[in-house]
Structure 1
Amino acid sequence: MTQSLENKRVAILATNGFEQSELFHPLNALKDANVKVDIISLEKGSIKGWDEDNWGESIEVDLTLQEAKSEEYDALVLPGGLFNPDTLRTSDAAIAFIKDFFADEKQRPVAAVCHGPWLLIEAGIVKGRNLTSYPSIQTDLRNAGANWQDVQVLIDGQLITSRNPDDLPAFSEQIIKALSQ
C-alpha cells in the first residue's frame, strides 16, 4: 500500500494553538505511508501546538494559504484544538481553501478531528451530513444541520471526522485508507 501512496500529497491546515497530537499523529502516519505532506498556515515561519494544558512543540510552515493551491492536494486534514480552528474560521482564505475541496467532482478526502469541524460549519458543508467531533461542539454542528454522532470515526462521503486524541489511530488509518482508493 505505501508504494501506491508515494505520489499522493496532503495538506494539513493549521495555525498557532493546534492540538499537538492531532497534527503530529496524522502527519507521522502519512509520512510513514510515503505521502508528501505540507503544513499550510496563515503566515510563514513556525506555528506552535497546544499540548493538553500548555504550549507544546512548534512545526515549520511549508506554505502560506496565499502560496498553496488546493487543486495540488489529494486530501486535506484539519486538526483541532480550541484555538486553531477558532482562528482559522475567521480567515476568508482558510475557508475558501476548504471549500475548494468540495467544489470539484474529485471527492478528495477532508478529515477533521476534535474542534476541526468548526471549519466545516464555516465552509457551509455540514448540512445533511453525518459527523462527529469533540462533544462540546455537537450543538454547533446540529444547529448547522449536521447529524452529530458520538463515534470514534465517522465517514460521510469524502468527510472523515473523529472526536479527540484517543481516536487518532483510527482517524489516521481512515485517511490513509481513503487515499488508497
Structure 2
Amino acid sequence: MKKVLLLLADGFEAVEASVFTDVLGWNKWEGDGSTEVVTVGLRNKLTCTWNFTIIPEKTINEIQLDEFDALAIPGGFEEAGFYKDAYSQEFSNVIQHFYTKQKPIASICVASLALGKSGILTGKRATTYNHPTSKRKEQLKNFGAVVQNELIVQEGNIITSSNPGTAFDVAFLLLEKLTSKENTEHVKELMGFSTTKTK
C-alpha cells in the first residue's frame, strides 16, 4: 500500500485537499487498490478558508514520516491564516524529509510557497498562483525558485501548480507517479475525466 501524507495548514482550501482524497480514494476502491491517504495537521482541529472545520486523522507528532510514500499539500488563503502553518518549521521539516528521501511531493497553487520556504525549490523550476493581480510568483522567486509561466510544473519528484483549477490534474499526476499511467487513465475514465468522446 502506498501511503500519502495529506499535509493540511489552517486556512487551507477544502477543494484543493478533496482532489487528493477523491482521486486516491477512487484508486483504492476502483483502481489498483494501492493508495491510502492520511490527513495530517499541526493540531487536532483545522478551519478551512471559508470556515469549514475539519478534524485531521493525525497530528504531525503522532506519525512516523518514514511510513509514507508521498506528500500532498493543498494551498490556502493568507486572510485565513494559511501561512502561519505553511511557513512553520514543523511544515518545513516534513517537506525536507520527503525531499531528502526523493519521494513525490505534490502541491497545489500557493502551497508551492511552503516548499519554497522550506528551501527545496532553490534553483528549481516551479510555479504558483499566477493571476496578474497577485504577487505570489515574485514571492516564489524570492525563495530561489526558477518561476515558470506554466499551469503545472514537474521538477524531478516535485509537482507545483498555478491555481485551484489545476487541482485534479495534480492529483492525477501524483497517482501516476505512485502507480502507472494505465491505472491512472482507468481511474480518470471511471471518474468521468476520460478524453474519449462518445457519440
Task: Provide the TM-score with structure 2 as the length reference.
Answer: 0.79
- What does residue 38 of structure 1 align with? 38
Specify the code of the residue in structure 2 equivalent to 1:8.
K
Which one has a bigger Cα radius of gyration?
A: 2
Q: Which has the higher helix share?
A: 2
- What does residue 4 of structure 1 align with? none
Q: Identity over aligned residues, as a percent?
A: 27
Specify the code of the residue in structure 1 equivalent to 2:125.
N
Match of 1:75 among 70, 78, 83: 70
Match of 2:15 among 14, 17, 21: 21
Q: Aligned pair 1:91/2:85, yes or no?
A: no
Task: Summarize the Cα distance change of 1:85–1:126 in structure 2 as closer, same or farther, 3 Å threshold.
Answer: farther
Structure 1 stretches of 4+ moved >4 Å: none
In structure 2, distance between residues paired with 1:126 and 1:85: 19
Q: Which has the higher strand share?
A: 1
In structure 2, distance between residues paired with 1:153 and 1:89: 20
Contact kept, 8 Å, 2:112 with 2:161, in 1: the verdict is no
Matched position secondary structure for 1:161: strand
1:179 Cα deviation from its structure 2 partner: 0.9
1:90 Cα deviation from its structure 2 partner: 4.0
List alignment gaps of at least 5 residues for structure 1. 1-6
Superposed CA RMSD in Å reads 1.6
Task: Provide the TM-score with structure 1 as the length reference.
Answer: 0.86
1:60 Cα deviation from its structure 2 partner: 2.3
In structure 1, distance between residues paired with 2:119 and 2:178: 24
Contact kept, 8 Å, 1:114 with 1:164, in 2: the verdict is yes
1:59 Cα deviation from its structure 2 partner: 2.8
Deviation per residue, 1:27-68 (Å, 9 max, x gap): 111111112111111112x32222xxx33x333211111112
